[in-house]
């Protein structure tokens, strides 16, 4: 009895309205084995004829998806009206040999292959709209902003920084932690995306009497962990005295939080090597503060 029911199920599915896609004419323009041309209901995709480079890239993604998931496959289908006045019919595709209706159109929208387009069926219109919202939330397909709309490449980026240093060794006989206020201005290059590797140049001043300049590389996330290494020089600026220069280098691991994409709060710790006359030492340090531009 079970075998007869299974055979009846298979036969009923195969002899319902089915089609096989044999050609992909455009991102949402498909051709069947018997020569019919149709579009998928509820989906609006960028065309291959788009002149904008971003839309072209999204169209190629949709084409690749169609080649992998639609071409030469057999589907059940139902005509479904679009709210647009179009000559080409729109179909709702369903998978063959499944219990219940598994909507191919809904799966595509959830995978981010196209935007939601209103249809006359209130049931499927709601489900299509919800599937598109899930794709947007998860950055699927054409909604992946990092892939298709990366932040513009900036060759020159600058920001001021108000920082504070806590050093764990002092010049002379003291070994107590002490605080140094710091103000600096940093220029960095090649800023792009969430993960950044950027050379930088920085000038600043400690205690208003220790001006310095340094250059280095910072690598890390716009929000999260980063590592920085640098080399440079500094001087002691006192009234009526000749300024002498010393060397510095350092490496720090830090964490940054970005507020409104303009104000950065950061903290980092590491070591600072200083060479100044007879002083040649590595000083452990903690650095914290904020920056903006």
Domains contained in the chain, CATH given? 2-148 (2.40.50.90), 157-292 (2.40.160.20)
Binning pLDDT at 50, 70 and 90, where does residue 259 land? low
Q: Do 142 and 270 meet the contact criterion of CB atoms below 8 Å apart?
A: no
pLDDT band (50, 70, 90) for residue 180? confident
Out of 6-10, 99-103, 112-116, 179-183, give the one with best mean pLDDT: 112-116
pLDDT of residue 2: 56
Give the sign of the dihedral formed by CA 241, CA 247, CA 253, CA 256.
positive
pLDDT of residue 152: 53
Please identify which residue in the block is written with the tokens 């599915």: 13
* pLDDT at 11 exceeding the cut of 70: no
Which tops the pLDDT comparison, 33 or 176?
33
Mean pLDDT score of the chain = 81
- pLDDT, average across residues 78-83: 74
**17 vs 92: CA distance, rounded Å:** 11
* Kind plus residue range of the DSSP H or E element containing 176: none
Looking at the predicted structure, is the pLDDT value of residue 208 above 70? yes
Average pLDDT over residues 213-220: 90
Tokens of 20: 């096989």
Least confident of 39-53, 166-180, 273-287: 166-180
Confidence grade of residue 67 (pLDDT, cut at 50, 70, 90): very high
């Amino acid at each position: 009895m079970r075998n007869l029911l299974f055979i009846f199920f298979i036969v009923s599915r195969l002899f319902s309205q089915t089609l096989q896609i044999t050609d992909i004419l455009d991102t949402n323009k498909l051709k069947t084995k018997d020569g019919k041309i149709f579009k998928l209901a509820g989906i609006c995709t960028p065309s291959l004829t788009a002149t904008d480079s971003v839309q072209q890239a999204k169209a190629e993604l949709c084409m690749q998806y169609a080649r992998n998931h639609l071409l030469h496959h057999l589907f059940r289908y139902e005509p479904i009206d679009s709210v647009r006045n179009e000559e080409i019919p729109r179909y709702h595709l369903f998978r063959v040999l499944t219990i219940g209706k598994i909507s191919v159109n809904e799966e595509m929208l959830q995978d981010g292959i196209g935007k939601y387009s209103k249809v006359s069926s209130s049931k499927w219109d709601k489900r299509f709209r919800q599937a598109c919202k899930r794709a947007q939330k998860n950055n699927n397909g054409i909604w992946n902003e990092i892939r298709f709309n990366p932040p513009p490449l900036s060759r020159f980026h600058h920001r001021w920084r108000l920082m504070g240093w806590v050093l764990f060794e002092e010049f002379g006989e003291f070994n107590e932690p002490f605080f140094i206020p710091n103000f600096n201005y940093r220029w960095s290059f090649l800023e792009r995306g969430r993960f950044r590797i950027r050379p930088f140049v920085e000038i600043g001043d400690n205690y208003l009497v220790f001006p310095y300049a340094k250059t280095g590389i910072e690598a890390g996330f716009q929000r999260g962990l980063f590592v920085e290494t640098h080399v440079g020089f500094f001087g002691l600026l006192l009234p009526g005295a000749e300024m002498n220069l010393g060397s510095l280098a350092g490496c720090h691991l830090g964490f940054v939080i970005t507020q409104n994409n303009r104000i950065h709060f950061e903290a980092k710790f590491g070591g600072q090597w200083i060479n100044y006359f007879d002083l040649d030492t590595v000083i452990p340090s903690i650095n914290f503060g904020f920056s903006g531009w």
